[in-house]
Amino acid sequence: MSVGIRHDDLRRRNRAMVISAVRRAGQPSRTEIAATTGLSHSTISAISSDLIQEGILTESKASETVSLKRGRPQVGLSLNPEAAAVLAVVLSLNFLSVAVIDYAGQVVAEEQRRLDTLTMSRNELIDECVAIVRRRLEDPDLDVQSVARIALAIQGITDSHARAMLWSPITPQTNIAFADILEREFGIPAIMENDCNMMAVALRWRDPDRYRDDFIAILLSHGIGMGLVLKGELFTGTHSSGGEFGHMIHRPGGALCRCGRRGCVEAYAGNYAIWRNARQLSENAEPVADVSDAEMRALAARARQTDGPEREAYRKAGEALGFGLGSLFALIDPAPVAMVGASAAAFDLIEPALREAIAQTAGGQHSGSISFDTEPNELPLIREGCAMRALSFVDQEIFAPGAQGKSGTARKHVA
């Protein structure tokens, strides 16, 4: 009996490895899959034949595959976009979006809405999330039976089981079990994730050579967040998503943070904090609810032109981020960092003070070798991370041996 179980586990793992290799490479040949996975050619041939028959993979025509070698061109394998679909929902400050993503990872439909998340009641917030998902599922062009997973990302703290929002700066509401709510409403498996963790997941898929075993994704937006990967695993807390880098204390008793505490890194480096300092307002001034990307671009332009309060505001932001990162590096050692979000476009104004601050910490002994990348738009990364998280579930659970996948489409959902 145990031998049979081990054999089934091996088949499940090998199938998942082949699907993952195809997902990463796009249209690899069987030989390329063998080189990537370490599986034998005969194993890959058998698995790929099964997956093609089940409608999970498709085979390109020989004429479509370019070969620079003599002889018969190798046939490429690709994911069948129609094999399954997932929904990626992103809830952030005053903003809600949903995207339908096919099995090949392409966005096939999306919707975005502006909300006043800070004033909405608990039921209003839940109703908006349910309604935007329902509208997508009621799209006549979408095969609802193919929707295998819903992944919702939110700015704030989620529980370690990916079920609920525990706290978020975008709303006064707490402890909302969004995943359970969506599952009950639509009968589709759902997860809920921290948005910065999803940025880290996406970075690893996009550039696995740079973002592999140890790296950090920092959100520089209205809030400051972090996604952290250590030893190849996404870091989470003992009972929550953890990684609340923005709410580490930079100056005890310092500037007022929108979390209600004082002296947080975010209270100096968040968009509202940079805006507050640029206008030379008191550190006790209530954080503004929202600062538009256009306002931040204009502020950065002034900071580049004149050595005035705007430039000083960015210097303070860099200092807070630098001391925070230096303290983190003292624990985990330096690692590649991706700066993501609207203020990443102004990283040239932040970086000098950031590096100077890191160099003053125990974790910054080699600060000159620490590398930073920038990505000014967080939504595509968060959405991609949600999609990859959801599609990985589909790869391993829905299309595993013994599961009922798209080939028979025995798995049915009613919206």
pLDDT attached to residue 45: 93
Question: What do you get for the CA distance between the two ends of the chain, in Å?
Answer: 39
pLDDT at 289 over 50: yes
Tokens 């030893």, residue?
231
* E-strand stretches of 211-297: 215-220, 224-230, 233-234
pLDDT at 250 over 60: yes
| 78, containing H or E segment | strand 77-79
pLDDT at 190 over 70: yes
pLDDT attached to residue 406: 43
**Dihedrals phi, psi of 309, to nearest 5 degrees:** -65, -30
Number of Cβ within 10 Å of residue 43's Cβ equals 18
pLDDT attached to residue 397: 76
pLDDT at 73 over 70: no
- The better pLDDT of the pair 225, 396 is held by 225
pLDDT at 63 over 60: no
Tell me the mean pLDDT in the region 349-363. 95
pLDDT at 66 over 90: no
Confidence at 74, pLDDT banded by 50, 70, 90: confident
pLDDT tens track for 136-156: 999 998 888 899 999 999 999
Confidence at 403, pLDDT banded by 50, 70, 90: low
User: 250: which residues sit within 8 A by CB, 6+ positions away?
Assistant: 263, 264, 265, 267, 268, 320, 323, 324
pLDDT at 316 over 90: yes
Confidence at 62, pLDDT banded by 50, 70, 90: very low
CA distances from 121 to 157, 171, 367 (A): 19, 9, 45
Q: What is the mean pLDDT of the chain?
A: 90
pLDDT at 407 over 50: no
pLDDT at 413 over 70: no
Confidence at 396, pLDDT banded by 50, 70, 90: confident
Tell me the mean pLDDT in the region 249-261. 96
pLDDT tens track for 321-339: 999 999 999 999 999 999 9
The rounded distance, in Å, linking the Cα atoms of 370 and 279 is: 32
pLDDT at 414 over 50: no
pLDDT at 356 over 60: yes
The rounded distance, in Å, linking the Cα atoms of 397 and 122 is: 33
Number of Cβ within 10 Å of residue 139's Cβ equals 13
Pick the most confident of 43-57, 308-322, 399-413.
308-322
What's the burial of 244, exposed, middle or buried (CB within 10 Å: 0-12/13-18/19+)?
A: buried
- The better pLDDT of the pair 266, 402 is held by 266
Tell me the mean pLDDT in the region 118-142. 96
Confidence at 204, pLDDT banded by 50, 70, 90: very high
Confidence at 401, pLDDT banded by 50, 70, 90: low
pTM: 0.89
pLDDT attached to residue 61: 60
The rounded distance, in Å, linking the Cα atoms of 211 and 227 is: 12
